[in-house]
Amino acid sequence: MAGAGSGYFLRAVERRSGVELRIKQRSAGDVGCVVWDAALVLAKYLETSGFYRDGLHSFTGKSVVELGSGTGVVGLMASALGAHVTVTDLEELQDLLNININDNKHLVTGSIQAKVLKWGETVKDLPPDPDYILLADCIYYEQSLEPLLRTINELTGRKTCIICCYEERTMGNNPKIERRFFKLLQTDFDIEEIPLDRQDEEYRSEDIHILHIKRKRRHQGIVTLK
Ligand SMILES: C[S@@+](CC[C@H](N)C(=O)[O-])C[C@H]1O[C@@H](n2cnc3c(N)ncnc32)[C@H](O)[C@@H]1O
């Protein structure tokens, strides 16, 4: 990693095309100031062939909201693939998000903006029923679980696919927190795990899971007659 000016260190994320997203991380600050492994795995997964249909990337022209974006690497990858992206995080992460958006704007083929969104608070000015909601490494403390689920519920529409990537951690309370999150989530959502062989060949790991999550059909007002 090369230095990137005082207080920052750089993480270069190479795209399949060879160009790099150049992401500044802060040497001091909270968990959102660095790129987590789950974000790298998710960003690289978005580039895989499973997202191509008829020669077009599935993100082209799609609306995307990322929650707990941190440095913004995942949302930036989606915007470089043609999506219209809103990256969100707490107020204190907005400067870093805007620096990284500005530093990578030449790679954006869709659009990208940063907004404050604290989980559990009313969602304002975000696209209704986005095509995708992206989440990397956001399941990690007990008090956030219910607010995060409220935000996911409020944002998710009929067509929305949530792509969630998380690192399975075995220390302390982490297993309990993960179990509780997925138990609550399964009330309203169906979950499909993406096998390793459908992920990026290099950026994947047994400990890092990628899930596609969709609202259960009974919550979409669809009644199946027998
Ligand atoms: C472990 S970091 C992951 C950051 C980034 N997604 C990545 O994987 O590199 C968790 C992120 O969630 C954000 N976060 C935590 N609690 C939050 C809350 N209550 N509302 C909104 N964002 C929150 C943090 O600020 C941080 O950016």
Domains parsed from the chain with CATH numbers = 31-220 (3.40.50.150)
Of all atoms in ligand 1, which is nearest to the CA of residue 118?
20
> Ligand 1 pocket, 89 CB below 6 A?
yes
> Ligand 1 pocket, 144 CB below 6 A?
yes
Cα-to-centroid distance, 69 and ligand 1 (Å) = 6
pLDDT at site 79 = 97
User: Which residues lie below 8 Å from residue 87, measured CB to CB, with a gap of 6+?
Assistant: 66, 69, 72, 75, 76, 97, 101, 112, 113, 114, 115
Whose C-alpha lies nearest to ligand 1, atom 24? 32
pLDDT at site 204 = 97
Candidates 98, 51, 52; CA nearest to 75 is 98
Residues of the chain with pLDDT under 70: 1-6, 219-226
pLDDT at site 112 = 98
> Ligand 1 pocket, 70 CB below 6 A?
yes
Cα-to-centroid distance, 1 and ligand 1 (Å) = 23
pLDDT at site 220 = 56
Please tell me the distance from the alpha carbon of residue 42 to that of residue 58, in angstroms, as a whole number.
15
> Ligand 1 pocket, 31 CB below 6 A?
yes
pTM: 0.93
> Ligand 1 pocket, 93 CB below 6 A?
yes
> Ligand 1 pocket, 88 CB below 6 A?
no
Cα-to-centroid distance, 26 and ligand 1 (Å) = 14
